């Protein structure tokens, strides 16, 4: 109990130094948590992927289309339990800066493959009946203030011209990680207009989504699908939905790697801040430790004082950093929601930040503690503050 009392006294002896150290630790823990959450946001799409969905695209690049006629051959394969298709639309709403994901889909089959999109039955029925109907995610609707029944006009870029739509449904995500910032329009509407204006672009899709019965046979099914279209005018590349999503992350691999490096550098900053503080503290109290030894305090007591003070500072700094992380992450999720629809602070991230803070609190005291214990009493008493 005496040691605990001395720990609390020592921790508050230099209030300004202790406060600045705790503040530095809190900022570092907060920065670590925010950076790790940003990295998780890059992988949100892959983490939310279904293991029994495959994505079939053009082997050359995603920008090259596939014939819709491939559907018949793929759905006849053993092990295929469902198939749909989608095409990136790429229109602009009011201002080119208003970017959001827009897909032309086969309504009934596509929504059947994505049960994570929760749509009221009446809204879904209306969407399937009207050619120019669209369904948007709740986050996207909130962003622009859209409601069911609102007429929306997009200016086509990939498909030029003015396109008029009516919002007939707003979906929500079954899970917190479900992307609620997407726009789904009817593929029939796009294809019919292409037949009338640009016949050569009709009957083409960007990708097929294939549902398989056995996820463990994903590699085998992928190879089978690709083998069907070998030496065709549009060879295919089939991969799991997770691998497909990770291919987008790979395009920004240098950014993700940079964020990972910075997150580890933050841990280093925590270590340096606390190590500097504890080294100064130990150096100032060498004579005090010598006096304590003459009074009968054993090395374990000296170690308890030094490590105890460090752990108190590290613990308070870590907890403060975690508390600050919540409002900061909420603010960031609003600011960057156009680019990262899913920006969720995970408990594991906070746990790692706190564990790192406590670990650093221990590591930072190893050398000061050893020096304090090994310094002879006579030598310690010679040092005058």
Return d(Cα 43, Cα 45) in angstroms, integer.
6
Q: What is the pLDDT of residues 64-86, one digit of tens each?
A: 999 999 999 999 999 999 999 99
Q: What pLDDT shows up at residue 365?
A: 72
pTM summary value: 0.73
SS3 97: coil
Residue 183's alpha-carbon distances to 64, 133, 190, 192, in angstroms, are 21, 11, 14, 19
Domain boundaries, the chain: 2-45+254-382, 53-213
Q: What DSSP letter does each residue of 9-58 carry, written as one string?
A: HHHTTSHHHHHHHHHHHHHHHHHHHHHHHHHHHHTHHHHT--TTEEEEEE
Per-block average pLDDT, block size 10, for the chain (385 residues)?
63 74 85 84 70 93 92 94 95 89 94 94 95 94 94 93 96 87 95 92 94 93 95 92 77 71 78 72 68 74 76 86 89 74 82 84 76 69 58
Cβ neighbours around 365 below 10 Å, total: 25
357-376 pLDDT, tens digit each: 888 778 777 777 777 777 77
């Amino acid at each position: 109990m005496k040691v605990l009392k001395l720990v609390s006294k020592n921790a508050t002896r230099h209030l300004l130094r202790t406060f600045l150290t705790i503040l530095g630790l809190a900022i570092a823990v907060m920065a670590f948590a925010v950076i790790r959450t940003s990295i998780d946001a890059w992988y949100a799409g892959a983490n939310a992927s279904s293991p029994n969905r495959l994505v079939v695209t053009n082997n050359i690049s995603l920008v090259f289309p596939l014939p819709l006629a491939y559907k018949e051959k793929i759905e006849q394969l053993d092990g295929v339990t469902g198939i749909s298709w989608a095409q990136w639309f790429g229109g602009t709403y009011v201002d080119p800066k208003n970017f959001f994901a827009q897909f032309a889909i086969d309504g009934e089959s596509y929504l059947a493959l994505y049960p994570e999109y929760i749509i009221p039955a009446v809204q879904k029925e209306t969407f399937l009946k009207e050619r120019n109907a669209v369904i948007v995610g709740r986050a996207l609707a909130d962003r622009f203030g859209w409601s069911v029944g609102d007429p929306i006009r997009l200016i086509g870029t990939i498909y030029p011209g003015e396109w008029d739509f009516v919002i007939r449904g707003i979906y929500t995500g079954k899970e917190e990680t479900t992307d609620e910032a997407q726009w789904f329009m009817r593929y029939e509407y796009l294809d019919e207009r292409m037949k009338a204006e640009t016949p050569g672009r009709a009957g083409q899709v960007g990708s097929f989504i294939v549902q398989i019965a056995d996820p463990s046979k994903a590699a085998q099914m992928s190879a089978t699908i690709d083998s069907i279209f070998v030496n065709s005018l549009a060879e295919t590349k089939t991969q799991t939905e997770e691998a497909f999503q990770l291919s987008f992350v790979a395009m920004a691999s240098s950014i993700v790697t940079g964020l990972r490096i910075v997150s580890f550098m933050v841990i280093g900053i925590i270590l340096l801040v606390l190590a500097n503080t504890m080294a100064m503290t130990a150096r100032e109290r060498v004579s005090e430790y010598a006096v304590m030894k003459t009074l009968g305090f054993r090395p374990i007591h000296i170690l308890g004082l030094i490590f105890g003070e460090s752990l108190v500072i590290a613990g308070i700094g870590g907890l403060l950093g975690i508390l600050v992380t919540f409002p900061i992450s909420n603010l960031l999720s609003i600011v960057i929601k156009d680019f990262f629809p899913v920006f969720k602070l995970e408990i594991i991230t906070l746990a790692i930040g706190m564990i790192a803070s406590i670990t650093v609190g221990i590591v930072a005291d190893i050398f000061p503690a050893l020096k304090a214990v090994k310094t002879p009493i006579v030598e310690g008493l010679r040092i005058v503050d």
